[in-house]
Amino acid sequence: MAQWRNKEKDGAYSEEEVLTRLEAELPKWTFENGWIRRKYKTSGWKGTLMVVNTVGHLAEAGFHHPDLAVSYAFVTVKLMNHAAKGITDKDFSLAKKIEEVIMWQPGLEDNNDLDGTPEDPRFKYIKYD
């Protein structure tokens, strides 16, 4: 991971620093109203619940909790460190883990025995970017 700057633990990044890190590390995430956010599109309620449960598990394991907007065919994840009143390394770390797990497609990896979700619409649950 790039060293973005020397700062105190849990120190908030400036808007410019947030935008630079998002572009370099999380290009599908945006910065809006003090939050970093990402909208995951799903194929319906089943997929939405799977995304919510996955994000919930990762957030609880990391003990850093996002705000979620949940609808039939999407989940929006918003992160900000309330204690720091801004975006910190915790937000970037959790966002990266969420992105890695939610967007994982084993069928596209070399040397992976898992095939990934079939193209059949009965089994699709998330709309990959």
Q: What is the pLDDT of residues 30-42, one digit of tens each?
A: 999 999 999 999 9
Structure tokens at 114: 């898992």
Residue range 107-124: mean pLDDT, rounded: 87
Q: Specify the pLDDT at position 4.
A: 57
Whole-structure pTM value: 0.90
pLDDT at 88 over 80: yes
Burial class of 76 by CB neighbour count within 10 A (0 to 12, 13 to 18, 19+): middle
Q: Where are the domains of the chain?
A: 28-104
Give the pLDDT band (50/70/90) at residue 19: very high
CATH of 28-104, one of 3.30.450.40, 3.30.360.10, 3.30.1360.20, 3.10.580.10: 3.30.1360.20
State what percent of residues in the chain have pLDDT above 90: 74
- Tell me the CB-side half-sphere exposure of residue 44, using CA atoms within 13 A: 5
Structure tokens at 7: 């700062």
Q: Specify the pLDDT at position 1.
A: 45
